[in-house]
Chains A and B, each alone.
Chain A
Amino acid sequence: MGDRRTWLGPLAALAVIVASWEALSAWMALPLFLPSPRAVGVAAWGLLVSGELSEHVAVSLQRLGVGLLLGVPLGVLLGSAMGRSQIVDGLIDPFLRVANATPALALIPFSLLWFGVTEAARYALLVYTVALTVTLNARHGVRQVPAIRLKAASALGVSGRGAFFRVIIPSAVPSILAGIRTAIGLGVMVIVAAEMLGATSGLGFLLMEARSHFNVERMFIGILGLGALSLVLDLGFAFTIERVMPRWSAARRVR
Protein backbone atom coordinates (compact mmCIF):
# COMPACT_ATOMS: atom_id res chain seq x y z
CA MET A 1 0.00 0.00 0.00
CA GLY A 2 2.93 2.29 0.66
CA ASP A 3 4.07 2.14 -2.95
CA ARG A 4 3.05 5.41 -4.51
CA ARG A 5 3.16 3.98 -8.00
CA THR A 6 0.26 1.63 -7.32
CA TRP A 7 -1.93 4.68 -6.72
CA LEU A 8 -0.54 6.91 -9.44
CA GLY A 9 -1.42 4.58 -12.33
CA PRO A 10 -5.12 4.24 -11.61
CA LEU A 11 -5.35 7.95 -10.73
CA ALA A 12 -3.82 8.86 -14.08
CA ALA A 13 -6.21 6.45 -15.79
CA LEU A 14 -9.15 8.02 -13.97
CA ALA A 15 -8.02 11.49 -15.08
CA VAL A 16 -7.64 10.32 -18.70
CA ILE A 17 -11.03 8.60 -18.69
CA VAL A 18 -12.81 11.64 -17.23
CA ALA A 19 -11.01 14.03 -19.58
CA SER A 20 -11.88 12.00 -22.69
CA TRP A 21 -15.46 11.63 -21.47
CA GLU A 22 -15.63 15.43 -21.07
CA ALA A 23 -14.13 15.98 -24.53
CA LEU A 24 -16.48 13.44 -26.11
CA SER A 25 -19.58 14.93 -24.54
CA ALA A 26 -18.51 18.44 -25.56
CA TRP A 27 -17.89 17.27 -29.11
CA MET A 28 -21.19 15.39 -29.37
CA ALA A 29 -23.08 18.24 -27.68
CA LEU A 30 -26.01 15.95 -26.89
CA PRO A 31 -26.46 16.30 -23.13
CA LEU A 32 -29.56 14.11 -23.21
CA PHE A 33 -27.50 11.33 -24.75
CA LEU A 34 -24.12 11.69 -23.09
CA PRO A 35 -24.01 14.21 -20.24
CA SER A 36 -20.66 15.75 -19.32
CA PRO A 37 -18.91 14.42 -16.21
CA ARG A 38 -19.45 17.84 -14.67
CA ALA A 39 -23.21 17.60 -15.17
CA VAL A 40 -23.18 14.11 -13.61
CA GLY A 41 -21.06 15.42 -10.74
CA VAL A 42 -23.45 18.29 -10.11
CA ALA A 43 -26.44 15.94 -10.20
CA ALA A 44 -24.67 13.51 -7.87
CA TRP A 45 -23.88 16.34 -5.45
CA GLY A 46 -27.55 17.35 -5.49
CA LEU A 47 -28.63 13.79 -4.72
CA LEU A 48 -26.02 13.51 -2.01
CA VAL A 49 -26.94 16.79 -0.29
CA SER A 50 -30.64 15.99 -0.35
CA GLY A 51 -29.83 12.66 1.30
CA GLU A 52 -31.61 10.76 -1.46
CA LEU A 53 -28.52 8.91 -2.65
CA SER A 54 -27.41 7.74 0.77
CA GLU A 55 -30.97 6.61 1.46
CA HIS A 56 -31.06 4.44 -1.67
CA VAL A 57 -27.62 3.03 -0.91
CA ALA A 58 -28.60 2.33 2.69
CA VAL A 59 -31.77 0.53 1.65
CA SER A 60 -29.90 -1.66 -0.86
CA LEU A 61 -27.18 -2.43 1.67
CA GLN A 62 -29.67 -3.28 4.36
CA ARG A 63 -31.38 -5.77 2.02
CA LEU A 64 -28.04 -7.30 1.16
CA GLY A 65 -27.20 -7.51 4.87
CA VAL A 66 -30.39 -9.37 5.70
CA GLY A 67 -29.78 -11.73 2.79
CA LEU A 68 -26.29 -12.52 4.06
CA LEU A 69 -27.37 -12.84 7.67
CA LEU A 70 -29.94 -15.49 6.81
CA GLY A 71 -28.32 -17.04 3.76
CA VAL A 72 -24.81 -17.65 5.07
CA PRO A 73 -25.75 -19.84 8.09
CA LEU A 74 -28.23 -21.73 5.93
CA GLY A 75 -25.58 -22.35 3.28
CA VAL A 76 -22.95 -23.42 5.82
CA LEU A 77 -25.40 -25.82 7.45
CA LEU A 78 -26.56 -27.36 4.18
CA GLY A 79 -23.11 -27.45 2.61
CA SER A 80 -21.37 -29.06 5.56
CA ALA A 81 -24.15 -31.63 5.93
CA MET A 82 -23.85 -32.47 2.26
CA GLY A 83 -20.09 -32.61 2.46
CA ARG A 84 -20.15 -35.04 5.40
CA SER A 85 -23.06 -37.29 4.57
CA GLN A 86 -23.44 -39.08 1.25
CA ILE A 87 -27.12 -39.63 1.98
CA VAL A 88 -27.85 -35.93 2.47
CA ASP A 89 -25.75 -35.15 -0.57
CA GLY A 90 -27.58 -37.67 -2.74
CA LEU A 91 -30.95 -36.29 -1.65
CA ILE A 92 -30.19 -32.62 -2.21
CA ASP A 93 -27.65 -32.65 -5.05
CA PRO A 94 -30.18 -32.82 -7.93
CA PHE A 95 -31.90 -29.65 -6.69
CA LEU A 96 -28.57 -27.92 -6.27
CA ARG A 97 -27.67 -28.75 -9.86
CA VAL A 98 -30.96 -27.43 -11.20
CA ALA A 99 -30.70 -24.26 -9.10
CA ASN A 100 -27.15 -23.71 -10.21
CA ALA A 101 -28.08 -24.00 -13.88
CA THR A 102 -30.94 -21.50 -13.58
CA PRO A 103 -30.01 -17.81 -13.52
CA ALA A 104 -31.29 -16.37 -10.24
CA LEU A 105 -32.51 -13.26 -12.03
CA ALA A 106 -35.08 -15.36 -13.89
CA LEU A 107 -36.69 -16.07 -10.51
CA ILE A 108 -37.56 -12.41 -9.97
CA PRO A 109 -40.90 -12.66 -11.80
CA PHE A 110 -41.74 -15.62 -9.55
CA SER A 111 -40.83 -13.80 -6.37
CA LEU A 112 -43.04 -10.91 -7.50
CA LEU A 113 -45.87 -13.29 -8.26
CA TRP A 114 -45.65 -15.11 -4.95
CA PHE A 115 -44.73 -12.28 -2.59
CA GLY A 116 -45.87 -9.20 -4.50
CA VAL A 117 -43.88 -5.97 -4.47
CA THR A 118 -42.75 -6.50 -0.90
CA GLU A 119 -39.59 -6.59 1.14
CA ALA A 120 -40.14 -10.34 1.58
CA ALA A 121 -39.81 -10.87 -2.20
CA ARG A 122 -36.34 -9.30 -2.21
CA TYR A 123 -35.21 -11.10 0.94
CA ALA A 124 -36.33 -14.44 -0.47
CA LEU A 125 -34.32 -13.89 -3.64
CA LEU A 126 -31.24 -12.78 -1.77
CA VAL A 127 -31.35 -15.58 0.78
CA TYR A 128 -31.73 -18.06 -2.07
CA THR A 129 -28.76 -16.65 -3.99
CA VAL A 130 -26.48 -16.37 -0.97
CA ALA A 131 -27.41 -19.78 0.45
CA LEU A 132 -26.88 -21.49 -2.91
CA THR A 133 -23.40 -20.04 -3.39
CA VAL A 134 -22.30 -20.66 0.20
CA THR A 135 -23.67 -24.22 0.13
CA LEU A 136 -21.58 -25.11 -2.91
CA ASN A 137 -18.44 -23.63 -1.36
CA ALA A 138 -19.00 -25.11 2.08
CA ARG A 139 -19.55 -28.56 0.60
CA HIS A 140 -16.37 -28.23 -1.41
CA GLY A 141 -14.45 -27.05 1.67
CA VAL A 142 -15.72 -29.83 3.90
CA ARG A 143 -14.89 -32.46 1.28
CA GLN A 144 -11.38 -31.12 0.81
CA VAL A 145 -10.33 -31.50 4.44
CA PRO A 146 -6.96 -33.29 4.28
CA ALA A 147 -7.33 -36.85 5.53
CA ILE A 148 -4.16 -36.50 7.56
CA ARG A 149 -5.75 -33.85 9.77
CA LEU A 150 -8.63 -36.15 10.58
CA LYS A 151 -6.20 -38.99 11.28
CA ALA A 152 -4.10 -36.76 13.50
CA ALA A 153 -7.21 -35.62 15.36
CA SER A 154 -8.41 -39.15 15.89
CA ALA A 155 -4.94 -40.19 17.08
CA LEU A 156 -5.22 -37.37 19.59
CA GLY A 157 -8.62 -38.68 20.65
CA VAL A 158 -10.82 -36.22 18.80
CA SER A 159 -13.39 -37.80 16.53
CA GLY A 160 -17.08 -37.71 15.72
CA ARG A 161 -18.75 -34.45 16.61
CA GLY A 162 -15.60 -33.06 18.18
CA ALA A 163 -13.72 -33.54 14.94
CA PHE A 164 -16.54 -31.86 13.03
CA PHE A 165 -16.29 -28.65 15.02
CA ARG A 166 -12.58 -28.65 15.72
CA VAL A 167 -11.14 -29.99 12.48
CA ILE A 168 -13.61 -30.07 9.62
CA ILE A 169 -15.33 -26.71 9.99
CA PRO A 170 -12.11 -24.76 10.66
CA SER A 171 -10.50 -26.43 7.63
CA ALA A 172 -13.46 -25.41 5.48
CA VAL A 173 -13.49 -21.77 6.60
CA PRO A 174 -11.31 -20.40 3.75
CA SER A 175 -13.58 -22.04 1.21
CA ILE A 176 -16.68 -20.74 3.00
CA LEU A 177 -15.22 -17.23 3.11
CA ALA A 178 -14.50 -17.40 -0.61
CA GLY A 179 -18.13 -18.42 -1.07
CA ILE A 180 -19.35 -15.46 0.97
CA ARG A 181 -17.21 -13.14 -1.14
CA THR A 182 -18.73 -14.52 -4.33
CA ALA A 183 -22.17 -14.33 -2.75
CA ILE A 184 -21.71 -10.62 -2.00
CA GLY A 185 -21.00 -9.95 -5.69
CA LEU A 186 -23.95 -12.02 -6.84
CA GLY A 187 -26.11 -10.48 -4.12
CA VAL A 188 -25.45 -6.99 -5.48
CA MET A 189 -26.44 -8.20 -8.91
CA VAL A 190 -29.66 -9.78 -7.67
CA ILE A 191 -30.70 -6.93 -5.41
CA VAL A 192 -30.28 -4.36 -8.18
CA ALA A 193 -32.31 -6.48 -10.58
CA ALA A 194 -35.01 -7.05 -7.97
CA GLU A 195 -35.15 -3.34 -7.26
CA MET A 196 -35.38 -2.51 -10.94
CA LEU A 197 -38.28 -4.85 -11.56
CA GLY A 198 -40.32 -4.23 -8.43
CA ALA A 199 -39.40 -1.78 -5.68
CA THR A 200 -39.84 1.83 -4.70
CA SER A 201 -36.42 2.35 -3.15
CA GLY A 202 -32.81 1.30 -3.55
CA LEU A 203 -30.17 1.84 -6.21
CA GLY A 204 -31.99 -0.33 -8.75
CA PHE A 205 -35.10 1.77 -8.30
CA LEU A 206 -33.03 4.91 -8.83
CA LEU A 207 -31.89 3.50 -12.17
CA MET A 208 -35.37 2.47 -13.28
CA GLU A 209 -36.85 5.82 -12.24
CA ALA A 210 -34.12 7.60 -14.18
CA ARG A 211 -35.05 5.52 -17.18
CA SER A 212 -38.72 6.44 -17.10
CA HIS A 213 -37.80 10.14 -16.79
CA PHE A 214 -35.04 9.90 -19.41
CA ASN A 215 -32.70 11.31 -16.78
CA VAL A 216 -29.30 10.28 -18.14
CA GLU A 217 -27.34 11.96 -15.34
CA ARG A 218 -29.07 9.79 -12.78
CA MET A 219 -28.45 6.69 -14.88
CA PHE A 220 -24.75 7.47 -14.79
CA ILE A 221 -24.89 8.08 -11.04
CA GLY A 222 -26.64 4.75 -10.57
CA ILE A 223 -24.15 2.85 -12.75
CA LEU A 224 -21.03 4.44 -11.28
CA GLY A 225 -22.41 4.18 -7.75
CA LEU A 226 -23.17 0.50 -8.17
CA GLY A 227 -19.76 -0.30 -9.59
CA ALA A 228 -18.13 1.58 -6.73
CA LEU A 229 -20.32 -0.03 -4.09
CA SER A 230 -19.61 -3.50 -5.41
CA LEU A 231 -15.86 -2.81 -5.54
CA VAL A 232 -15.81 -1.37 -2.01
CA LEU A 233 -17.75 -4.32 -0.62
CA ASP A 234 -15.49 -6.84 -2.34
CA LEU A 235 -12.20 -5.19 -1.35
CA GLY A 236 -13.55 -4.37 2.10
CA PHE A 237 -14.43 -7.99 2.73
CA ALA A 238 -11.04 -9.25 1.54
CA PHE A 239 -9.23 -6.57 3.57
CA THR A 240 -11.20 -7.34 6.72
CA ILE A 241 -10.34 -11.00 6.50
CA GLU A 242 -6.66 -10.27 5.94
CA ARG A 243 -6.60 -7.94 8.91
CA VAL A 244 -9.05 -9.37 11.40
CA MET A 245 -8.67 -13.07 10.77
CA PRO A 246 -5.42 -13.65 8.85
CA ARG A 247 -5.56 -17.24 10.04
CA TRP A 248 -8.40 -17.87 7.61
CA SER A 249 -7.02 -15.93 4.69
CA ALA A 250 -7.07 -18.02 1.51
CA ALA A 251 -4.05 -16.08 0.24
CA ARG A 252 -1.87 -17.17 3.15
CA ARG A 253 -3.35 -20.58 3.49
CA VAL A 254 -0.89 -23.24 4.54
CA ARG A 255 -1.73 -26.71 3.33
Chain B
Amino acid sequence: MAPRPGFWLGTLSVTLALGAWAMASAYLVDPALLPPPSQVWTAAARLARSGELLDAARVSLARVAVGYLLGATAGLITGLVLGGVRAADLVLGPAFGFLKGLPPIALVPLSIMWFGIGETPKHLIIAYIVWVVITINVAAGVREIPTIRLRAGAFLGLSGLQRFARIVAPSIVPYLLVGMRNAIGFAYVALVSAELVAASSGLGYLIMDSRFSLQTARMIVGLVALGLLGAVSQLGFDLAVSRSRLLARYARP
Protein backbone atom coordinates (compact mmCIF):
# COMPACT_ATOMS: atom_id res chain seq x y z
CA MET B 1 0.00 0.00 0.00
CA ALA B 2 1.71 3.19 -1.15
CA PRO B 3 1.13 6.06 1.28
CA ARG B 4 -0.99 8.97 0.07
CA PRO B 5 0.83 12.22 -0.74
CA GLY B 6 -0.62 13.69 2.44
CA PHE B 7 1.21 11.06 4.46
CA TRP B 8 4.63 12.64 3.96
CA LEU B 9 3.35 16.13 4.69
CA GLY B 10 1.77 14.78 7.87
CA THR B 11 4.99 13.06 8.90
CA LEU B 12 6.85 16.30 8.25
CA SER B 13 4.54 18.45 10.33
CA VAL B 14 4.35 15.95 13.20
CA THR B 15 8.15 15.74 13.28
CA LEU B 16 8.39 19.53 13.25
CA ALA B 17 5.83 19.77 16.04
CA LEU B 18 7.73 17.25 18.18
CA GLY B 19 10.93 19.21 17.55
CA ALA B 20 9.24 22.48 18.49
CA TRP B 21 7.85 20.85 21.62
CA ALA B 22 11.32 19.60 22.63
CA MET B 23 12.86 23.03 21.98
CA ALA B 24 10.11 24.81 23.86
CA SER B 25 10.48 22.72 26.98
CA ALA B 26 14.25 23.01 26.80
CA TYR B 27 14.50 26.78 26.37
CA LEU B 28 11.16 28.53 26.54
CA VAL B 29 8.85 27.25 29.24
CA ASP B 30 9.16 25.65 32.64
CA PRO B 31 9.58 21.88 32.08
CA ALA B 32 7.33 21.33 35.08
CA LEU B 33 4.50 22.76 32.97
CA LEU B 34 5.58 21.23 29.68
CA PRO B 35 8.00 18.32 30.05
CA PRO B 36 10.01 17.37 26.95
CA PRO B 37 8.82 14.42 24.82
CA SER B 38 11.64 12.25 26.16
CA GLN B 39 10.37 12.70 29.72
CA VAL B 40 6.82 11.84 28.65
CA TRP B 41 8.17 8.71 26.99
CA THR B 42 10.02 7.72 30.19
CA ALA B 43 6.88 8.32 32.24
CA ALA B 44 4.88 6.21 29.80
CA ALA B 45 7.40 3.38 30.01
CA ARG B 46 7.40 3.52 33.81
CA LEU B 47 3.58 3.57 33.99
CA ALA B 48 3.40 0.68 31.56
CA ARG B 49 5.97 -1.39 33.43
CA SER B 50 4.36 -0.88 36.83
CA GLY B 51 1.03 -1.97 35.38
CA GLU B 52 -0.64 1.31 36.47
CA LEU B 53 -1.45 2.33 32.92
CA LEU B 54 -2.99 -0.99 32.03
CA ASP B 55 -5.03 -1.04 35.23
CA ALA B 56 -6.35 2.46 34.64
CA ALA B 57 -7.19 1.68 31.02
CA ARG B 58 -8.93 -1.52 32.02
CA VAL B 59 -11.04 0.22 34.67
CA SER B 60 -12.05 2.96 32.20
CA LEU B 61 -12.82 0.50 29.43
CA ALA B 62 -14.95 -1.64 31.75
CA ARG B 63 -16.96 1.44 32.76
CA VAL B 64 -17.56 2.41 29.15
CA ALA B 65 -18.50 -1.16 28.19
CA VAL B 66 -21.04 -1.65 30.98
CA GLY B 67 -22.57 1.82 30.61
CA TYR B 68 -22.67 1.52 26.84
CA LEU B 69 -24.42 -1.85 26.87
CA LEU B 70 -27.00 -0.64 29.39
CA GLY B 71 -27.65 2.57 27.49
CA ALA B 72 -27.75 0.97 24.05
CA THR B 73 -30.26 -1.67 25.12
CA ALA B 74 -32.50 0.91 26.76
CA GLY B 75 -32.10 3.26 23.79
CA LEU B 76 -33.12 0.61 21.29
CA ILE B 77 -36.32 -0.07 23.22
CA THR B 78 -37.30 3.56 23.83
CA GLY B 79 -36.36 4.46 20.27
CA LEU B 80 -38.68 1.81 18.87
CA VAL B 81 -41.52 3.02 21.10
CA LEU B 82 -40.90 6.68 20.32
CA GLY B 83 -40.67 6.08 16.59
CA GLY B 84 -43.50 3.59 16.37
CA VAL B 85 -46.13 5.09 18.65
CA ARG B 86 -47.21 8.53 17.48
CA ALA B 87 -48.69 9.49 20.84
CA ALA B 88 -45.45 8.63 22.64
CA ASP B 89 -43.47 10.74 20.20
CA LEU B 90 -45.85 13.68 20.52
CA VAL B 91 -45.64 13.59 24.30
CA LEU B 92 -42.05 12.53 24.97
CA GLY B 93 -40.20 13.67 21.84
CA PRO B 94 -39.52 17.16 23.22
CA ALA B 95 -38.29 15.63 26.48
CA PHE B 96 -35.53 13.93 24.51
CA GLY B 97 -34.68 17.22 22.86
CA PHE B 98 -34.17 18.56 26.35
CA LEU B 99 -32.11 15.57 27.50
CA LYS B 100 -29.91 15.72 24.40
CA GLY B 101 -28.66 19.15 25.38
CA LEU B 102 -28.07 18.25 29.00
CA PRO B 103 -24.32 17.69 29.50
CA PRO B 104 -23.65 14.39 31.30
CA ILE B 105 -21.22 16.14 33.64
CA ALA B 106 -24.11 18.15 35.11
CA LEU B 107 -25.57 14.90 36.42
CA VAL B 108 -22.39 13.82 38.19
CA PRO B 109 -23.02 15.63 41.53
CA LEU B 110 -26.58 14.35 41.79
CA SER B 111 -25.63 10.81 40.78
CA ILE B 112 -22.96 10.74 43.47
CA MET B 113 -25.51 11.80 46.07
CA TRP B 114 -27.95 9.18 44.89
CA PHE B 115 -25.69 6.26 44.16
CA GLY B 116 -22.56 6.88 46.19
CA ILE B 117 -19.01 6.90 44.86
CA GLY B 118 -18.85 3.32 43.57
CA GLU B 119 -19.10 2.14 39.99
CA THR B 120 -22.89 2.55 39.72
CA PRO B 121 -22.98 6.33 39.15
CA LYS B 122 -20.26 6.07 36.48
CA HIS B 123 -22.11 3.32 34.65
CA LEU B 124 -25.35 5.26 34.85
CA ILE B 125 -23.87 8.54 33.59
CA ILE B 126 -22.40 6.77 30.57
CA ALA B 127 -25.60 4.79 30.05
CA TYR B 128 -27.64 7.99 30.22
CA ILE B 129 -25.96 9.74 27.28
CA VAL B 130 -25.75 6.55 25.20
CA TRP B 131 -29.45 5.98 25.86
CA VAL B 132 -30.39 9.48 24.67
CA VAL B 133 -28.24 9.35 21.52
CA ILE B 134 -29.44 5.90 20.44
CA THR B 135 -33.08 6.62 21.25
CA ILE B 136 -33.06 9.68 18.99
CA ASN B 137 -31.41 7.78 16.14
CA VAL B 138 -33.59 4.68 16.36
CA ALA B 139 -36.76 6.78 16.60
CA ALA B 140 -35.70 8.64 13.45
CA GLY B 141 -35.05 5.30 11.76
CA VAL B 142 -38.51 3.99 12.56
CA ARG B 143 -40.13 7.22 11.34
CA GLU B 144 -38.22 7.06 8.06
CA ILE B 145 -39.30 3.56 7.08
CA PRO B 146 -40.78 3.99 3.60
CA THR B 147 -44.55 3.54 3.86
CA ILE B 148 -44.49 1.42 0.73
CA ARG B 149 -42.50 -1.25 2.51
CA LEU B 150 -45.03 -1.46 5.33
CA ARG B 151 -47.91 -1.49 2.86
CA ALA B 152 -46.24 -4.23 0.84
CA GLY B 153 -45.86 -6.24 4.04
CA ALA B 154 -49.49 -5.78 4.93
CA PHE B 155 -50.51 -6.66 1.38
CA LEU B 156 -48.47 -9.84 1.54
CA GLY B 157 -50.29 -10.79 4.71
CA LEU B 158 -47.43 -10.50 7.21
CA SER B 159 -48.47 -10.60 10.85
CA GLY B 160 -47.42 -7.82 13.24
CA LEU B 161 -44.45 -9.76 14.52
CA GLN B 162 -43.35 -10.79 11.03
CA ARG B 163 -43.62 -7.20 9.86
CA PHE B 164 -41.40 -6.12 12.73
CA ALA B 165 -38.80 -8.79 12.05
CA ARG B 166 -38.72 -8.51 8.26
CA ILE B 167 -39.43 -4.85 7.61
CA VAL B 168 -38.93 -2.66 10.69
CA ALA B 169 -35.80 -4.30 12.06
CA PRO B 170 -33.80 -4.32 8.79
CA SER B 171 -34.95 -0.77 7.97
CA ILE B 172 -33.67 0.75 11.21
CA VAL B 173 -30.26 -0.95 11.16
CA PRO B 174 -28.46 1.93 9.36
CA TYR B 175 -29.84 4.46 11.86
CA LEU B 176 -29.00 2.21 14.77
CA LEU B 177 -25.43 1.84 13.49
CA VAL B 178 -25.00 5.62 13.13
CA GLY B 179 -26.39 6.09 16.63
CA MET B 180 -24.11 3.42 18.05
CA ARG B 181 -21.09 4.97 16.34
CA ASN B 182 -21.85 8.46 17.68
CA ALA B 183 -22.63 7.09 21.10
CA ILE B 184 -19.07 5.76 21.46
CA GLY B 185 -17.67 9.29 21.44
CA PHE B 186 -20.33 10.49 23.86
CA ALA B 187 -19.67 7.53 26.15
CA TYR B 188 -16.03 8.62 26.46
CA VAL B 189 -17.08 12.21 27.17
CA ALA B 190 -19.30 10.91 29.97
CA LEU B 191 -16.52 8.67 31.23
CA VAL B 192 -14.10 11.60 31.45
CA SER B 193 -16.78 13.71 33.15
CA ALA B 194 -17.31 11.11 35.85
CA GLU B 195 -13.63 10.35 36.32
CA LEU B 196 -12.50 13.97 36.52
CA VAL B 197 -15.08 14.98 39.11
CA ALA B 198 -15.25 11.92 41.31
CA ALA B 199 -13.23 8.76 40.91
CA SER B 200 -10.28 7.04 42.49
CA SER B 201 -9.30 4.95 39.47
CA GLY B 202 -9.30 5.07 35.69
CA LEU B 203 -7.51 7.20 33.11
CA GLY B 204 -9.39 10.40 33.97
CA TYR B 205 -8.37 9.97 37.57
CA LEU B 206 -4.77 9.35 36.51
CA ILE B 207 -4.78 12.75 34.76
CA MET B 208 -6.45 14.58 37.65
CA ASP B 209 -4.31 12.91 40.30
CA SER B 210 -1.08 13.64 38.42
CA ARG B 211 -2.13 17.26 38.12
CA PHE B 212 -2.33 17.65 41.89
CA SER B 213 1.17 16.27 42.29
CA LEU B 214 2.36 18.34 39.30
CA GLN B 215 3.52 15.27 37.36
CA THR B 216 2.77 16.75 33.98
CA ALA B 217 4.41 13.93 32.04
CA ARG B 218 1.97 11.45 33.61
CA MET B 219 -0.92 13.75 32.72
CA ILE B 220 0.10 13.71 29.08
CA VAL B 221 0.44 9.92 29.13
CA GLY B 222 -3.08 9.64 30.56
CA LEU B 223 -4.47 12.00 27.95
CA VAL B 224 -2.84 10.15 25.06
CA ALA B 225 -4.01 6.80 26.44
CA LEU B 226 -7.55 8.13 26.70
CA GLY B 227 -7.47 9.40 23.11
CA LEU B 228 -6.07 6.09 21.90
CA LEU B 229 -8.69 4.09 23.75
CA GLY B 230 -11.46 6.20 22.22
CA ALA B 231 -9.97 6.02 18.74
CA VAL B 232 -9.44 2.26 18.97
CA SER B 233 -13.03 1.75 20.14
CA GLN B 234 -14.39 3.69 17.18
CA LEU B 235 -12.06 2.00 14.74
CA GLY B 236 -12.95 -1.39 16.13
CA PHE B 237 -16.62 -0.61 15.68
CA ASP B 238 -16.11 0.56 12.08
CA LEU B 239 -14.08 -2.53 11.31
CA ALA B 240 -16.61 -4.87 12.88
CA VAL B 241 -19.38 -3.27 10.83
CA SER B 242 -17.50 -3.31 7.53
CA ARG B 243 -16.23 -6.85 8.08
CA SER B 244 -19.60 -8.28 8.95
CA ARG B 245 -21.29 -9.10 5.68
CA LEU B 246 -24.70 -8.90 7.30
CA LEU B 247 -24.17 -5.39 8.69
CA ALA B 248 -22.18 -3.93 5.79
CA ARG B 249 -25.27 -4.27 3.63
CA TYR B 250 -27.04 -1.84 5.92
CA ALA B 251 -24.19 0.54 6.72
CA ARG B 252 -25.73 3.30 4.61
CA PRO B 253 -29.32 4.46 4.88
Give A residues with C-beta under 8 Å from B: 5-6, 9-10, 12-13, 16-17, 33, 86-87, 89-95, 98, 101-103, 105-110, 112-114, 185, 188-189, 192-193, 196-197, 204, 207-208, 210-211, 214, 216, 219-220, 222-223, 226-231, 233-234
Which secondary structure dominates chain A's binding surface?
helix
21 contacts between A and B (CB under 8 A): A13-B94, A90-B7, A91-B9, A101-B227, A103-B192, A103-B226, A107-B223, A109-B196, A109-B211, A188-B103, A189-B103, A192-B105, A196-B197, A211-B109, A214-B113, A220-B110, A222-B106, A226-B101, A227-B98, A227-B102, A227-B106
Q: Which residue of A lies closest to B8 (CB)?
A: A90
Given A91-B9, A207-B109, A17 and B97 contact (CB-CB distance below 8 Å): no
| Pair B33/A113 contact, Cβ less than 8 Å | yes
Q: Which residue of B lies closest to A214 (CB)?
A: B113
Contact residue among B14, B93, B204, B216 (Cβ-Cβ distance under 8 Å from A106): B204
Supplied contacts A204-B106, A223-B106, 18 more A-B pairs, CB within 8 Å: A91-B9, A91-B12, A101-B234, A103-B185, A103-B192, A105-B189, A109-B211, A113-B33, A113-B211, A185-B101, A192-B103, A196-B105, A196-B197, A208-B109, A211-B113, A219-B110, A226-B102, A228-B98
Which secondary structure dominates chain B's binding surface?
helix
Q: How far is the CA of A234 from the CA of B112 in the complex (A)?
A: 29
Q: Which residue of A lies closest to B4 (CB)?
A: A90
| Pair B113/A10 contact, Cβ less than 8 Å | no
B27 lies within 8 A of chain A by Cβ: no
Contact residue among A17, A90, A188 (Cβ-Cβ distance under 8 Å from B10): A90
B188 lies within 8 A of chain A by Cβ: yes
Q: How far is the CA of A230 from the CA of B104 in the complex (A)?
A: 12
Q: How far is the CA of A92 from the CA of B9 in the complex (A)?
A: 9
- Chain B window 1-27, contacts with chain A (Cβ cutoff 8 Å), 1 for yes, 0 for no: 000011111101110010000000000
| Pair B13/A94 contact, Cβ less than 8 Å | yes
B219 lies within 8 A of chain A by Cβ: yes
Given A113-B33, A188-B101, A223-B107, A108 and B196 contact (CB-CB distance below 8 Å): yes
B142 lies within 8 A of chain A by Cβ: no
| Pair A230/B5 contact, Cβ less than 8 Å | no
Least Cβ distance of B103 to chain A in Å?
4
Least Cβ distance of B59 to chain A in Å?
15
Q: Which residue of A lies closest to B195 (CB)?
A: A106
A234 surroundings in chain B (CB, below 8 A):
101
| Pair A219/B113 contact, Cβ less than 8 Å | yes
4 smallest beta-carbon distances between A and B, as pairs = A90-B9, A230-B101, A90-B6, A9-B90
- Among A98, A109, A208, the most chain B Cβ lie within 10 Å of the Cβ of A109
How many A-B residue pairs have C-beta atoms within 8 angstroms? Tell me. 151
Interface residues in B131-163 (C-beta closer than 8 Å to A): none
Given A89-B6, A91-B12, A110-B219, A227 and B188 contact (CB-CB distance below 8 Å): no
- Among B106, B110, B196, B207, the most chain A Cβ lie within 10 Å of the Cβ of B106
Q: Which residue of A lies closest to B12 (CB)?
A: A91
B114 surroundings in chain A (CB, below 8 A):
33
B67 lies within 8 A of chain A by Cβ: no
| Pair B5/A90 contact, Cβ less than 8 Å | yes
B214 surroundings in chain A (CB, below 8 A):
113
- Chain B window 215-230, contacts with chain A (Cβ cutoff 8 Å), 1 for yes, 0 for no: 0100100110011101
| Pair A210/B17 contact, Cβ less than 8 Å | no
| Pair B101/A109 contact, Cβ less than 8 Å | no
| Pair A223/B94 contact, Cβ less than 8 Å | no
A17 surroundings in chain B (CB, below 8 A):
95
Q: How far is the CA of A113 from the CA of B101 in the complex (A)?
A: 28
Least Cβ distance of B120 to chain A in Å?
15
Given A13-B92, A90-B5, A109 and B208 contact (CB-CB distance below 8 Å): yes
Q: Which residue of B lies closest to A220 (CB)?
A: B110
| Pair A92/B13 contact, Cβ less than 8 Å | yes
Q: How far is the CA of A193 from the CA of B118 in the complex (A)?
A: 21
Least Cβ distance of A29 to chain B in Å?
16
Q: Which residue of B lies closest to A7 (CB)?
A: B94
B92 surroundings in chain A (CB, below 8 A):
13
Least Cβ distance of B54 to chain A in Å?
18
| Pair B95/A13 contact, Cβ less than 8 Å | yes
Q: Which residue of B lies closest to A188 (CB)?
A: B103
B109 surroundings in chain A (CB, below 8 A):
207-208, 210-211, 219
Q: How far is the CA of A66 from the CA of B67 in the complex (A)?
A: 34
Q: Which residue of A lies closest to B89 (CB)?
A: A9
Interface residues in B81-129 (C-beta closer than 8 Å to A): 87, 90-95, 97-99, 101-110, 112-114
Q: Which residue of A lies closest to B16 (CB)?
A: A91
